[in-house]
Structure 1
Amino acid sequence: MVLELPTSPAKRNALRARVMPSLKELPPRRPEPPAPDDSAVRWDRIDIDRYEVRANGVTVGFVDVVGAVFVVLSGTRYDRAVEVLQTLDFAAAIGSISPADTD
Structure 2
Amino acid sequence: MVLEIPAPSARRGALRSRGIRTLRELPPRRPQPPAPEDSPVRWERMDLDRYEVILEGATVGYIDVVGAVFVALEGTRYARAVEVLQTLDFASAVRAISPRSH
Please indicate, yes or no, whether the TM-score normalized by the shorter chain is above 0.5. Answer: yes
Count of residues in correspondence between the two structures: 97
Q: Identify if the C-alpha distance between structure 1 residues 7 and 61 changes in structure 2 by more than 3 Å, giving closer, same or farther.
A: farther
Shift of 1:24: 1.1
Extract unaligned runs of 5+ from structure 2. none
Q: Identify if the C-alpha distance between structure 1 residues 22 and 101 changes in structure 2 by more than 3 Å, giving closer, same or farther.
A: closer
Separation in structure 2 between the aligned mates of residue 7 and residue 31 of structure 1, nearest angstrom = 45
Separation in structure 2 between the aligned mates of residue 63 and residue 95 of structure 1, nearest angstrom = 11
SS of residue paired to 2:100 = coil
Structure-2 residue corresponding to 1:67: 67
- Aligned 8 A contact 1:55 1:99 in 2: no
Structure-2 residue corresponding to 1:3: none
TM-score under structure 1 length normalisation: 0.83
- Alignment map for 1:23-62 (pairs within 5 Å): 23-62=23-62
Aligned Cα RMSD in Å?
2.1
Q: Identify if the C-alpha distance between structure 1 residues 81 and 101 changes in structure 2 by more than 3 Å, giving closer, same or farther.
A: same
SS of residue paired to 1:100 = helix
Extract unaligned runs of 5+ from structure 1. 1-5
TM-score under structure 2 length normalisation: 0.83
Structure 1 runs (4+) deviating above 4 angstroms are 6-15
Separation in structure 2 between the aligned mates of residue 28 and residue 101 of structure 1, nearest angstrom = 27
SS of residue paired to 1:79 = helix
- Aligned 8 A contact 2:41 2:101 in 1: no
- Aligned 8 A contact 2:40 2:101 in 1: no
Shift of 1:19: 1.2
